[in-house]
Structure 1
């Protein structure tokens, strides 16, 4: 069978990381993962986009572009032309304060149909244009050319004013929890199962496609559960990996044999982001960014932006967007100076005209960069750099730039600072720490993500069924690679 006849299956295993995976392979009973590894190429360090939050990761994967092109900056961000904070789902308390109806429409409709830019094409759209069928099982980002309906659960409609059904553009085969499913099975889909947004429901629906001989040319199946295990128990938690292995066994057993599953398909098992540990002592581990910005007036979530407000915060756990509402009254340099007072902060960046300025907490100095032809990095991207490159752990030899603790640092920062309108600083904290703001979740003694560090940014990938590799080991490069596996004569845009 040549590669054009094979189906491609991508299983996105939330918060899968190299070190705990290696420990599980060495010390635990994980037969499915071991079986894949036996026939696979293993890539331990694929670079995730920044901020390292699932909607940004999914948007980058599906479009083959960073957020400066796809337009979904993070899980939480401020939309300047609507003068409001967008939150796709950090914590129910934050969503209640922002307005549940608006927040639900943001994630169920606007994310895919308004916020994800129309001038970039997703994998689903490109495959549909080539006459191929694709499936999206439980990712939040799923845009394609097929119009499908999401049914809002009755209990949610009882408490808030929202339509029973919402039309959205999707892949051909589409699962969005119990709100849009393929099988008639109700197992794993109740309110206590997050209405089907769980690993078992993803497995149930994908297995249904296999058993009914409806496996499409490309399937993206999202396994969300391990995220909460690591948030609570820390980066080296293995229980979630063992659970995922049982679920992978269920998928393999949906085929006539495990051997046939691997022989006839390309399998890609991949994480979405890493997580960095968060210290156990709240006072030192949690960085209250509101205190650092005192006495500036910060928008309250429930009230929305008021005329006297000076600052809007969009907290993405280990990173945060800090927006000034009046750049003359509160310039970005003033925000940066206030943040620099805390040495738990590892990166502070903002753009001014065509330069991006970067500093860090403590006495780290400053440097700036922009697109240019002076130096070339390991991803064949060209830059002009001035100042203390050690702030981003850049290694410069002649005109060659390589990255250390902050993978693909320059392009990831450039894309973040050009991802949406507004005057803002983006900042992140060192491993061991997490930002807190009004009603935001926190994870002392556990782990968290969203940050710029390699602990948040590097994920493993297991590939079986092909010896072709992506151009570079970044999530942003995977779309082109997948399209070339399935449509070899054409290249993705």
Structure 2
């Protein structure tokens, strides 16, 4: 899912025909507080490594084939949780926002990789495919992804893990994480041609933790400064590893560090969920990091290591006709806003596709959401179709009759101690009940995650997902024929493994949204 950043970097290179400039990294001062050397800390350093699209089954296969010795070592000497629940939509910007804030998108307000901002009257796209970027405009996409995502779109009403640590007098580090907002000012060093063409300023101010790496745009290791287009401008596993090794070897490792390994995501998108090349590559980098200590045993003795995935991926079939659910064709009865155009007076609906999930907006007050949902329900490749009416959320499924309606509060209690009122066909979300106790099956934490997405931003819209094997397609969406895709509510997209060494504790619940509080309490 870090591919969105890679797409933007490649497009910048193509359009600007220059390479990234490499001024020395400027480690800024905290507003109002002198930034000193790392404060001695009474407990172990905490290092959180996120391997994009890491899943349990391919991880076990990589271990079986002896191609992931470092990850096998961590499992042997710690705790292993194969089924941690991701956020929803299962797209990096939303997941990382939940990881860093401990909230779902109804509170952190980052709805997905692509969504419609009703207030600005435009589609927000953080980098979903070259064709979409060109049609929407390079300038707004770069502004949204490189600046507004962290500094404006991520709600100021929630605090990130980095901000809470800084408020407690503790430093932290972010290496190649998509969401990184913190309390310290930094600058992203962009091509001079970007400023000349009035796309972006040459030096773009942003806020992150004390130690902040973001590919060649910002780095802590001086030897990491030259990363070219074929190295994805530093948005790769090797860069991430070198940054972390530098912090360890220089004695600058702060109490908490998050480091992103993005390369596995590309392998899985291309080759499908059982591909293990990306896992093997990530494991090599972890071995390199462990090599900065006297021994692997010393590495896990001196730090708490948390290694986890962010989302899973479901297989996409090999038939363009069958595997791609082409939303413009399904909804051809309506006038759909074109990507190159602002919303026109006669437009009726607008599509924002996030691979196996989409937001479908009714921008015509005379077109009810339920009517759009009815058209989609005729296609049995579509999985979940949900919308809200007042306090009630309605859910139907493709190819079948029946409705499930729910709202927060009520007699039913789910495994996460959340209470709900339920009415209708529970099998739509594969929910079972015994007395007042609920159990989720194919759609983990389905009610809270749907509620979060449907309250993530203003507007009248549907949440739509595809069944495993299929992918939603809009006007110019990227596709993954014979590969893997994510975005949906289904467990194949939603469950990720987590390896923990150096502590016997664990999150209150095995969900990404609970990891922030666990780390803060671990300190």
CA distance in 1, matches of 2:307, 2:57: 16
Shifted more, 184-193 versus 211-220: the winner is: 184-193
User: 1:191 Cα shift?
Assistant: 1.4
| 2:507 corresponds to which of 457, 467, 470 | 470
Report the alpha carbon displacement of residue 73 of structure 1 after superposing the two structures with TM. Answer: 0.6
Residue number in structure 2 paired with 1:490: none
CA contact (8 A) 1:187 1:201 kept: no
2:292 equivalent among 254, 261, 264: 254
The one-character-per-residue Cα deviations of 1:248-267 (angstroms, maximum 9, x if unpaired) are 11111122322221001000
Listed one character per residue, the Cα deviations across residues 247-293 of structure 1 (whole Å, up to 9, x for unaligned) are 11111112232222100100000001000000111111110011111
For the 8 Å contact 1:28–1:242, the answer to whether it is kept is no
Structure 1 residues 252 and 156: CA distance shift in structure 2, 3 A: farther
Q: Give the superposition deviation at 1:160.
A: 6.1
- Give a deviation string over 1:122-157, Cα, whole Å, max 9, x none: 000000011111000001110011010011134655
The correspondence for 2:386, drawn from 323, 339, 349, is: 349
Alignment of 1:449-488 (within 5 A): 449-486=486-523
User: Could you report, residue by residue, the CA deviation over 1:76-106 in whole angstroms, capped at 9, with x for unpaired residues?
Assistant: 1000000000011111221111111111110
Q: 1:174 to 1:352 in 2, by over 3 A?
A: same
Q: Distance in 1 between matches of 2:117 and 2:282?
A: 36
Q: 1:435 to 1:188 in 2, by over 3 A?
A: farther
Conserved 8 A contact 1:98-1:304: no
In structure 1, the partner of 2:7 is none
What is the CA deviation profile of residues 9-37 of structure 1, one whole-angstrom value per residue up to 9, with x for unaligned ones?
00000000000001111123322112111
SS in 2 for 1:415: helix
Alignment partner of 1:200 out of 238, 248, 267: 238
The question of 1:265 aligning with 2:303 is answered yes
Separation in 1, partners of 2:86, 2:416: 14
Match of 1:291 in 2: 329
Q: Which residue of 1 is the match for residue 371 of structure 2?
A: 334
Shift of 1:188: 6.5
RMSD: 1.4
Cα distance, 1:248–1:158 mapped onto 2, change above 3 Å: farther
Query: Could you tell me how far 1:187 is from its partner in structure 2?
Result: 6.5
**Which deviates more, 177-186 or 312-321?**
177-186
Query: What whole-Å deviation, never above 9, does each CA across 1:150-182 have from its counterpart, x for those lacking one?
Result: 111346557662210111110110001100111
Asked if 1:367 corresponds to 2:404, the answer is yes
- 1:281 paired residue number: 319
Deviations 1:188-235 (A, max 9, x none): 711122211111111111111111011110000001111110011000
Residue in 2 aligned with 1:307? Answer: 345
* TM-score calculated relative to the size of structure 2: 0.91
Structure 2: runs of 5+ lacking an equivalent: 1-40
Which residue is equivalent to 2:468? 431
Q: Distance in 1 between matches of 2:107 and 2:42?
A: 29
Distance in 2, Cα, partners of 1:443 & 1:253: 36
* Structure 1: segments with no counterpart, 5+ residues: 487-493
Alignment correspondent of 1:491: none
CA distance change for structure 1 residues 4 and 219 in 2, over 3 Å: closer, same or farther?
Answer: same
2:173 is aligned with 1:135: yes
Per the alignment, residue 96 of structure 2 pairs with 58
Structure 1 stretches of 4+ moved >6 Å:
none
